[in-house]
Chain A
Amino acid sequence: MSAAQTDTTTIESRLARLREQFMVRVITHLATLDDLADRLDAAGTAADREESRWIAHSLAGAGGTFGFPVVSRHAGDLEDYLATGPDNAALAARLRTTVAAIRQDMAANMTSLGDQAEGSLP
């Protein structure tokens, strides 16, 4: 294997590790969005709305780069929706819809990753 191929392999394996870390981050963010939906239903504050916006912005921005365009699209739609100033109940409902859609996409991705991992076994 040439030095260039070694470099490429090293970079690709690093990218795969970073992608896994991103998936963990997404799962964490989705859990937080679940909590935020509950808080908004109860007595949501401006801080809750801001945290929702920040997570949506973060996922919308990074999702496409890490190879999850569906995550990026759902999170982007949520960010745009937040900018319209919905009330807490409507926002909570939208948060839950978004979280469900992203989880569905992540599950599909994980299955795909699992298939790839199994396929790569000797």
Chain B
Amino acid sequence: MDRDIGLAVVDDDPLYLDYLSNLLALQGGMRVTCLASETALFETLPQEPFDCILMDYDLGHNNGLSVAERVNAMLSDPPPIVMLTGGGSERTAVKAFRSGFSDYVSKRDLKLVELVGAVRGAVDRHEAARSARARTEALQQQLEFNATTGLYDMRFIRARLDEFTVRGTTHRFCVIVVDLPQLADVRAELGYMAGERLLRAFASRLRDVVTPDDLAGHLDNDGFIILVDRPAALTGVDAMVERLANALSQEFTLDRTQIRIEPQIATAHFPESGTSADALLAAARPARAEVPTASAIAMPAQPTDAGAPDLDASATQLIQKSERRAERRQRVLRQAKIKLNGHSTVIDCNVRDLTTRGARLRVDSYFAVPAEFDLAIVGTGTTRRVATRWQIGRDIGVEFVAEVP
């Protein structure tokens, strides 16, 4: 320790107290405060933070063990206590260590060097433990936040939700849930890291809308949650939701790819919507399966001049050359059938985007699509010859070649 050690010496013998404190002061590096009783110690402790307490085992009616227990109960970060005893029995020493004393020095054959060493050692150990604790707390603090977005993680949010719901129904608060069902598509099509970058950008926009007084965190991989625990703000939740919808619906540019996420935002109010964390979350999350989702990624509709390029080159081109389209894509979710081998093989798929020039399809299971095949979109009554322009996993981009009679 660079600075002087703040040492409280507690002994009910005034002569001994005076002598010992002067003896310690003579060693240097210590600011010694003399306290003649445990009462004086308890009165001084809240005002003066000591680095160490050197205390006699026999303090009038109380022994040092009970005094130490009270000190440890009284302070959140109690200083180390070194016990002085006239008895010097092994039994007392064992009791002292079991009671949390940092060290034990016998008065009978007291050696000042040993006493000073015990005090300094206790302070050094305490400082080391405090530093270790601070590092652990810092790590725990980091763990409360999601490493990707810096928002609170799900455990923290869940713990706050549980806390808020047990305060009683008079403490109103609101839960806003933002779901991003298309994020899974982005990960599937552009890769995991692209999904993480998008998530980070999305969280940044979310933070811009949410005030510092509200808790914004993750609900799971593709969902965010905001806890509005300010009575004054509860009437403005609808306005906040609108601001969120506006901010989060704006296009994101990832490298040169335009991505538009359509967030699903819902609210739940405590206690009207539910009185438990689970009930509130259920109320604020519509069933995803019932909500059809459109593609988040803009894709080129026009075939390239090179005719039918190979699939990998097409896919790369898609990501790198993606631009705003002249023709608005029609976001649809329709059933279709891929017909192969003279229509002897039929594979079901979904049409996820549709333009007059092509479509994006998704199949349930991956298979390598041929360069050309017939596609029948259910409900249109027509079958079209299509050319495969790209395939990424289960997603296939096709260009309409001709109508099949």
Residues of chain A whose beta carbon lies under 8 Å from any beta carbon of chain B: 8, 11-12, 14-15, 18-19, 21-22, 25, 57-58, 60-66, 69, 72-73, 76, 79
B251 interface hit (Cβ, 8 Å): no
Q: Is the CB of B107 within 8 A of A18?
A: no
A60 close to B22 (CB less than 8 A): no
A58 to B107, CA, bound (A): 10
Report B389 CB to chain A, min CB distance, Å: 87
Question: Of the candidates A8, A18, A79, which one forms a contact with B18 in the assembled complex, judged by CB atoms under 8 Å apart?
Answer: A18
Q: Is the interface of B mostly helix, strand, loop or mixed?
A: mixed
Q: Mark B97-115, 1 if CB is under 8 A from A, else 0.
A: 0000000000111100000
Q: Are A60 and B15 in contact (CB under 8 A)?
A: no
Report chain B residues within 8 Å CB of A69: 109
Please report the C-alpha to C-alpha distance between residue A14 and residue B58 in the assembled complex, in whole angstroms: 25
- Chain B positions within 8 Å of A15 at CB level: 19, 22-23, 26
Q: Which residue of B lies closest to A75 (CB)?
A: B108
Judge whether B109 and A72 touch: CB under 8 Å.
yes
- Within 8 Å by CB of B108, from A8, A11, A66, A76, lies A76
Tell me the residues in window 1-29 of chain B with beta carbons closer than 8 Å to chain A beta carbons.
Answer: 13, 15-16, 18-20, 22-23, 25-26
Determine whether the beta carbon of A65 is less than 8 Å from that of B15. no
Question: By the criterion CB–CB under 8 Å, are A73 and B19 in contact?
Answer: no
Query: What CA separation (Å) do A60 and B20 show in the bound complex?
Result: 15
8 closest Cβ contacts across the A-B interface? A61-B86, A61-B107, A64-B110, A18-B19, A65-B110, A76-B108, A11-B26, A72-B108
Smallest beta-carbon distance B84→chain A, Å: 8
| Contacts of B66-89 to chain A: CB distance below 8 A | 84-88
Q: Which residues of A contact B25 (CB under 8 A)?
A: 11
Contact A65-B23, Cβ < 8 Å, known A58-B13, A72-B109, A76-B88 = yes
Contact status A64-B19, CB under 8 Å: no
21 residue pairs bridging A and B, Cβ less than 8 Å apart: A11-B25, A11-B26, A15-B19, A15-B22, A15-B23, A18-B15, A18-B19, A18-B22, A22-B19, A25-B15, A57-B86, A57-B87, A58-B86, A60-B86, A61-B16, A61-B107, A62-B107, A64-B107, A65-B23, A65-B110, A79-B87
Distance in angstroms from B194 CB to nearest chain A CB is 68
Residues of B within 8 A of A (CB): 13, 15-16, 18-20, 22-23, 25-26, 58, 84-88, 107-110
Nearest Cβ in chain A — how far from B300, in angstroms? Answer: 83
Whether the Cβ atoms of B19 and A65 lie closer than 8 Å is yes
Per the bound structure, the CA–CA distance linking A79 and B22 in Å amounts to 28
**Distance A122 CA – B13 CA, assembled complex (angstroms):** 36
Bound-state Cα–Cα, A69 to B15, Å: 17
Which A-chain residue is minimally distant from B86 (CB atoms)? A61
Question: Would A73 and B87 count as touching, CB distance under 8 A?
Answer: no
A3 to chain B, nearest CB (A): 13
Return B92 CB to nearest CB of chain A, in Å: 12
> What chain A residues lie within 8 Å of B108 (beta carbons)?
60-61, 63-64, 72-73, 76
Contact at A65–B16, with CB atoms within 8 Å?
A: yes
CB-CB under 8 A from A61, the residues of chain B are: 16, 84-86, 107-108
B88 surroundings in chain A (CB, below 8 A): 76
Q: CB distance A62 to B109 under 8 Å?
A: no
From residue A75, how far is it (CB to closest CB) to chain B in Å? Answer: 8
Q: How far is the CB of B66 from chain A (nearest CB, A)?
A: 19
Tell whether A62 pairs with B16 under 8 Å between CB atoms, given A69-B109, A72-B108, A76-B88.
yes
Q: How far is the CA of A12 from the CA of B19 in the complex (A)?
A: 10
Residues of A with C-beta under 8 A to B85: 61
CA distance A40 to B110 in the complex (A): 32
Q: What is the minimal beta-carbon distance from B157 to any residue of chain A, in angstroms?
A: 58
Q: How far is the CA of A58 from the CA of B56 in the complex (A)?
A: 12
Compute how far the CA of A62 lies from the CA of B23 in the bound complex, rounded to whole angstroms: 13
- Min Cβ gap A96→B in Å is 22
Tell me which residues across on chain B come within 8 A of A14, comparing CB atoms.
18, 22
Residues of B within 8 A of A19 (CB): 19
Q: What's the Cα separation between A72 and B106 when bound, in Å?
A: 11
Q: Which residue in B19, B26, B58 is a CB contact (below 8 Å) of A66?
A: B19
Cα-based distance from A35 to B106 in the complex (angstroms): 29
Contacts A19-B19, A58-B86 known; 4 new A-B pairs at CB < 8 A: A21-B15, A61-B84, A62-B16, A72-B107
Give the complex CA separation of A12 and B16 in angstroms. Answer: 15
Closest Cβ of chain B: how far from A107's Cβ, in Å?
A: 21
Chain B residues whose CB sits within 8 angstroms of the CB of A25 once the complex forms: 15
- List chain A residues, Cβ under 8 A from B15: 18, 21-22, 25, 62
